[in-house]
Amino acid sequence: MTVNVGHGRIEWRGIQVLEVTPEQMGFPHALQLARIDRIRELKGGKQEVETVWIITSLRPDQADATRLLELVRLYWSIENSTHYPLDVSAGEDQCRVRHPISVTVLGILRRAVQGEYRAWARDQPCKRDRTFPTFRDRMSRRLNHVLHLAAGPIP
């Protein structure tokens, strides 16, 4: 069991792990099944309870219960640092483009801008200047630079 305090809440995580076979699970390469129970105590005493099931191809000697909890936390750190900004800042979820090629190109452009933003933000001396709206405002004034980043030099 792990306990974390932060962001105005206390979170407890417990895990139960079972060794399984691919035949039992109906998933090729499945070697472990884990049940993770999370209890969050929010401000005001309200509690949220959540159960998550994971199936993994990692052997018990590669990932015991403690390591599986770490891997699940790592997954959410990736989700929160990559996908969430794309959804919120780039409006990826609101995009109504459906043509497969257009969707792919827009996704590549969003990720390129996100990478450029991260590099730009690291170079900003003042924390208040590191916001995405500030980046967007400054880049909109430098259209040639943005086009160069997206398409290469313009002849």
- pTM of this structure: 0.57
Helices (DSSP H) in 6-99: which residue ranges?
22-25, 65-78, 84-88
Is 110:132 a contact under the CB 8 Å cutoff?
no
Tokens 């035949």 belong to residue: 23
In this predicted structure, what is the pLDDT of residue 153?
Answer: 60
146 class by beta-carbon count within 10 Å (0-12 exposed, 13-18 middle, 19+ buried): middle
Q: What is the pLDDT of residue 67?
A: 94
CA angle 8, 11, 90 (to 5 degrees): 65
Per-residue pLDDT of the chain (155 residues; tens, 9 = 90+): 778 887 778 889 999 999 999 999 999 999 999 999 999 998 888 999 999 999 999 999 999 999 999 998 887 776 777 777 777 767 777 888 889 998 888 888 888 888 888 888 888 888 887 887 788 787 777 777 766 766 666 55
